[in-house]
Structure 1
């Protein structure tokens, strides 16, 4: 093990999805850093597992998308959500999830070049760890953050080696808290979370069993139990498929005040799995057990000066919608490029203030969506006629109404259909996964015409180049090579996307690059000569929302920072001034509207 550094530009506390993504990004950007993780290794239970399109895109930009797809469950095997009395018993309902259904698959494919995947943290974190270390990250386990003192020009932290008890003092320019729901860095920064904790308690039983005969013909990630009788929420427990069709988690509710997890025997966990599957002779290997609680909390601010927090340190919520890991990765990707430019002297410290301005509203919306989705799951039980404390006999009688002819049966079937459709706001929530937009931060808002809000912004993603939005994906070609508009941004450079007639933007970009040290690459889209960047299907023309000679400025994280309707000398001058404001070289007024008068 190399000697502990006494000084690093960035100290990251925590090696979960947020910390490891930060480490990989900082390595790609050439920023020195140390990651300190108090535990002995990466995640010891599967926990989060849904990897949505935005996260796969971020991994694409960091050069590890292929690694993800090599170890993750592929998109097509995430298809079916099931509601069953047991896996071997009656199937009550089925839906197609995560954009796999025929009604939604085209929307997902058009929106992104990156298909989503199912990858538990036990696989996801080692993937990031290996990639980050290969890229040069210094990541150390069993190294616990104890305290920090903030000075004007840096942070002095005390770290404790948990194997030897030795203390290490490390000086950094910035301290990042990716240390989870009990974040010491958050407390050190004087930041707080708001919202309730301990709304409910659950147990995850991680196990191996061959369930191929039950699932090969209806593959999916989630199996919801609707066994009749006086049972708690989740009833016999929800099954989560982590590796088809042999590795799963059984999640069920419990009350730790009545009985602690330590009092459960392995035989009892095996019996719970067998009951949920409906196979009393099933061969089950329990790999791990973990308890967790339902929270609905978000930090009111993500940063305080040189201390910045991300991931579960700042947003804590149930796993509904699969947002936790994904928001954590996006937190890291938003913060890393800003840190890199500030540390290189190419941007002002105010750029780091935009991290909280941009990400906190996303976290707040994610927490609210997750807790709402959890409540909406109860609609299926209600539609089936289940009531709290209902006897098993009455529950089966209610369930049998699904097969009854006539108005009563029709009403029950319609109620179930509507309740299952409501879960689309959890399992096909494309808008909240991909369509979030920053409204203030490292961007200049404008009053240019843009697409209308979709009827349901949770379910539907509508591409837009409005500042703050992720730049729309459009399929392009260059000399027969296919690429996405998302691929036109490289490293810490900005991309200025224009069309035929917008070539004059190159002079402005060259000036900005020379003056600020931040590379601005101009891409002229729509030409037809050899070497040109072609828009063969006209997708970029349909989505750019500016004229052919206009321009869309895209940040390193692929969010739009600025745009102009057409080329003109006044617009070029405006870009020069606004670029300084985006980099916080000059202050950006919070009510700046991009007035082009």
Structure 2
């Protein structure tokens, strides 16, 4: 059996695996990515890229391609509830920052826009970028066995078209191989939480629904046709391509309404949910899945790490799955590169778990809590499982009627939709992840308390452990974001008009430590001009202060003003972060 040697083996080529491949390749890390599948995703699965994820795509140089492959949220702002797509409309709601009272906050938070891009359109974009960067990605290559020792990881790989086996020997392995992770199982990762919380079937279909939906452009359409034992309605249509490609989800209770993942079972339900018998429907794929709420109790075991669905498994509420997976990769890729490049000790890699496991717990809890909102709406309308069609439509008539009962039900629905903001407008969950780990040099001050609900609202701060806030600047008559000040895969010092000593210190340390540390001064009259004054209001340092930003754009160190020895202070912070065991 032949043996191939590499520094990093990535198992899985979904969102987390492909993002890792691209980021490692860009940093010159010797890495191989394997996946048992023939190609990237053959169906939509996930379909929402939040602002933090699009910022990572911006960093990879493919932000425009992401927009071209999907629809900015402002183009498809609505979530719509109907009896069926041809029937009565019951309500609408604007989501993910498109409502008037939230739009400005989302625009102020990031240079990027939330985008509805299905996984089968997003993955090829990341794959193309990874390949252009020189990534080694091998399809049809299945991990069958993995072991590790003190020096590395040994993986047995089956090339499925020929049945040939070979061995990959790597210094580290990243398991990004999904909810049925071979890596997690064989490496002995433990999980807490529950499985089988519910059951669903997804259908990927082609059906021209423009005459039913183009006048009310949205990302999700919930149908609630009475008279069936459907759980959470009678089918949810998630937009893939306007207006003829859809991911349709049918949730069900197998005790009362068993459902096979077959075209024969799905087609009648699709026709009921659409409500127009003249619409041709082509089923491109069908798949069954279970609702879970599971989180790994650790993200690292020796030289093996897990990311994405291999580490956290939950329902699709809030659209957090693929986003969190890509953000896991953004966290670990620069750390692996630093260790393998000889600039950091292995102990730096412990911070991956310290930083990302709490995020995983948060998003699993948030998605699980949000699922109840979905079931509440039809209940308030008066639709329930076990009704006859006549009883269900009579309940809808009452809901819409000019009666005391109708008034009460409509008020209950409005209140339920307000609560449902926790499922569709949790900007703080998406953007406000704060880290506490050895990879952050605390400045001795407490993290700022939240002034508003920490899940609904994002509160930027420059406290160490927070993500670098976005503000628009002027650079040679071109508008740039503060996020653009951090070059790819590079530590960066950001200071102000009085901070030349920090700039000089960064240059000195770059030569001393052997890796680049960029430095930029931001302020009025400077090449990076804070022309609107927005940065001055949010930077939480003086014109002589300093922020040291990690390659993943998290703030590692902060000095409120110029210090007696900037080079020594930066050196101390970097040493503490990169060599926490020293």
The verdict on a shared fold, with TM-score over 0.5 as the criterion, is yes
Following the alignment from structure 1 to structure 2, what is the Cα–Cα distance between the partners of residues 366 and 152? 33
Please tell me whether residue 293 in structure 1 is matched to residue 253 in structure 2: no
Aligned partner of 1:361 in structure 2 is: 358
Any idea what SS the aligned residue of 1:366 has? helix
Aligned partner of 2:456 in structure 1 is: 459
Following the alignment from structure 2 to structure 1, what is the Cα–Cα distance between the partners of residues 55 and 333? 16
Please tell me whether residue 380 in structure 1 is matched to residue 357 in structure 2: no
Any idea what SS the aligned residue of 2:196 has? coil
Superposed counterparts of 1:460-539, under 5 Å: 460-529=457-526, 532-539=527-534
Q: 2:39 aligns with which of 38, 41, 47?
A: 41
Q: 1:577 aligns with which of 560, 572, 575?
A: 572
Please say if residues 492 and 519 of structure 1, whose CA atoms lie closer than 8 Å, have aligned partners that are also in contact: no
Please say if residues 178 and 308 of structure 2, whose CA atoms lie closer than 8 Å, have aligned partners that are also in contact: yes
Following the alignment from structure 2 to structure 1, what is the Cα–Cα distance between the partners of residues 525 and 424? 41
Deviations 1:70-107 (A, max 9, x none): 21123222201001001111111101111112221111
Aligned partner of 1:553 in structure 2 is: 548
Any idea what SS the aligned residue of 1:504 has? helix
Unaligned runs of 5+ in 2: none
Aligned partner of 2:68 in structure 1 is: 70
Shift of 1:506: 1.9
Following the alignment from structure 1 to structure 2, what is the Cα–Cα distance between the partners of residues 586 and 552? 24
Deviations 1:15-36 (A, max 9, x none): 1111000000011111111111
Aligned partner of 1:442 in structure 2 is: 439
Any idea what SS the aligned residue of 1:221 has? strand
Following the alignment from structure 2 to structure 1, what is the Cα–Cα distance between the partners of residues 451 and 229? 39
Aligned partner of 1:213 in structure 2 is: 211
Please say if residues 11 and 172 of structure 1, whose CA atoms lie closer than 8 Å, have aligned partners that are also in contact: yes
Once structures 1 and 2 are overlaid, which stretch shifts more, 336-345 or 569-578? Answer: 569-578
Deviations 1:21-61 (A, max 9, x none): 00000111111111110111111221001110000000100
How many residues were matched structurally? 581
Superposed counterparts of 1:91-490, under 5 Å: 91-254=89-252, 259=258, 261=260, 264=262, 266-405=263-402, 407-448=404-445, 451-490=448-487
Please say if residues 506 and 567 of structure 2, whose CA atoms lie closer than 8 Å, have aligned partners that are also in contact: no
Following the alignment from structure 1 to structure 2, what is the Cα–Cα distance between the partners of residues 203 and 221? 19
Any idea what SS the aligned residue of 1:491 has? coil
Please say if residues 45 and 290 of structure 1, whose CA atoms lie closer than 8 Å, have aligned partners that are also in contact: no
Shift of 1:570: 5.5
Any idea what SS the aligned residue of 2:111 has? coil
Once structures 1 and 2 are overlaid, which stretch shifts more, 135-144 or 447-456? Answer: 447-456
Following the alignment from structure 2 to structure 1, what is the Cα–Cα distance between the partners of residues 278 and 214? 20
Please say if residues 564 and 571 of structure 1, whose CA atoms lie closer than 8 Å, have aligned partners that are also in contact: no
RMSD across aligned positions (CA): 1.9
Aligned partner of 1:88 in structure 2 is: 86
Once structures 1 and 2 are overlaid, which stretch shifts more, 211-220 or 3-12? Answer: 3-12
Following the alignment from structure 1 to structure 2, what is the Cα–Cα distance between the partners of residues 348 and 492? 18
Deviations 1:136-161 (A, max 9, x none): 11111111112223222222221111
Following the alignment from structure 2 to structure 1, what is the Cα–Cα distance between the partners of residues 42 and 2? 26
Following the alignment from structure 1 to structure 2, what is the Cα–Cα distance between the partners of residues 4 and 55? 38
Unaligned runs of 5+ in 1: 588-597
Shift of 1:230: 4.6
Following the alignment from structure 2 to structure 1, what is the Cα–Cα distance between the partners of residues 222 and 239? 12
Once structures 1 and 2 are overlaid, which stretch shifts more, 271-280 or 363-372? Answer: 271-280
Following the alignment from structure 1 to structure 2, what is the Cα–Cα distance between the partners of residues 216 and 5? 55
Shift of 1:255: 5.0
Aligned partner of 2:557 in structure 1 is: 562
Any idea what SS the aligned residue of 2:504 has? helix
Once structures 1 and 2 are overlaid, which stretch shifts more, 252-261 or 79-88? Answer: 252-261
Following the alignment from structure 2 to structure 1, what is the Cα–Cα distance between the partners of residues 566 and 467? 22
Q: 1:564 to 1:145 in 2, by over 3 A?
A: same
